[in-house]
Amino acid sequence: MKLVCDNVYVVKPYDPHADDCCVYMIDTKSEDGLVLIDVGLNIEPIQVIEKEGFYLKDIKHCLITHGHLDHFGACFKLKKFNANINFYAHELDADQIEQKPTGQYIEQYYGDYKYQPVKLAKRIKSDNEILKFGKSQFQCIHIPGHTPGSVAYLLEIRKKKILFGGDLPGVVLNFRGDNLEEYLKSMQKLLHFNIDILCEGHEDIIEPAKKVKKFIKKYMNLNEMLNLFLEEPNNMEILLDLTFISCELEFFDNALDFCNYLLEIEPDNVNGQELLKKILKQNPQKIDWIKSLINESIKKEK
């Protein structure tokens, strides 16, 4: 467990090999007890708080960033430690949490996960709604795009703005039912807040404000390029841009995947050959993601 700033902790840190998300905790120093931001799929990583003098029974509130199982799957497990725990999420993603999630994505990635639905204490309905626990005030910023009900929670401590973002870099693909236009508007909205510390769902802590802005802008660019490429899967210029952006974000597995695909189509591409040498120095894992996305998008068109 790591301290981010006054009474704000990383309970479950970023792990590139984990299936679920980062989990954050705020000690309200009040009768409202402990507040979790997301919970992930498994309760075991959260039990680390008991080694630091906290107790699972004192987790009284859990703010869910969006309706993807890797962010709320273990909610029902938390109830075993505190039956009166309160869960919060946006009304547009509420059904995913209060009912058994279904669909191709769930079957493909979480088919064996036995989720038990939980009832939300509150459905967030309005943008910039405030949730107050003790002296901690969380501003609920509606950021649709990755999901319709994605929410980022903004907490200010000693004039520092801390944002719990959920999946700001989440892949947003129009053909899957995501909404790129809404996502770009949402990210642009977040940029105006001048965030000092970003506590992201699948990344390490990002600070200061300058790095946070750069991080958000890079992912906006990545998602734009990815959607453009899936419309023109033989566009080498866009594919090269995707490789560059992935390298800048240190997503070397993806960079290798993009670069290998580029060189498969155009083996003599000099820029691709040079990039491949740099990428391989990072010893990335070989994946085959871009081809599966292309095939998926083609099937959707049919």
Counting every residue, how long is the chain? Answer: 302
C-alpha 208/C-alpha 196 separation (Å) is 5
Tell if the pTM clears 0.75, that is, is over it.
yes
Confidence at residue 277, expressed as pLDDT on a 0 to 100 scale: 96
Confidence at residue 17, expressed as pLDDT on a 0 to 100 scale: 78
Nearby residues of 291 by Cβ (< 8 Å), 6 or more positions away: 261
Beta bridge partners of 154: 139, 163
Domain regions of the chain by residue span:
2-223, 232-301
Confidence at residue 108, expressed as pLDDT on a 0 to 100 scale: 61
Q: Which two tokens stand for residue 15?
A: 């792990």
| Each residue's pLDDT expressed in tens, for the chain with a length of 302 residues | 999 999 999 999 988 778 889 999 999 999 999 999 999 999 999 999 999 999 999 999 999 999 999 999 999 999 999 999 999 999 999 999 999 877 666 666 676 788 899 999 999 998 999 999 999 999 999 999 999 999 999 999 999 999 999 999 888 998 887 899 999 999 999 999 999 999 999 989 999 999 999 999 999 999 999 999 999 998 999 999 999 999 998 889 999 999 999 999 999 999 999 999 999 999 999 999 999 999 988 877 65
| 57 contacts 47 by C-beta, under 8 angstroms | no
- Please classify residue 192 by burial: count the beta carbons closer than 10 Å to its beta carbon, then call 0-12 exposed, 13-18 middle and 19+ buried: exposed
Confidence at residue 134, expressed as pLDDT on a 0 to 100 scale: 96
> Span 2-223: which CATH code?
3.60.15.10
Confidence at residue 301, expressed as pLDDT on a 0 to 100 scale: 67
Question: What CATH architecture applies to the domain 232-301?
Answer: Alpha Horseshoe (1.25)
Same topology between domain 2-223 and domain 232-301: no
Confidence at residue 99, expressed as pLDDT on a 0 to 100 scale: 92
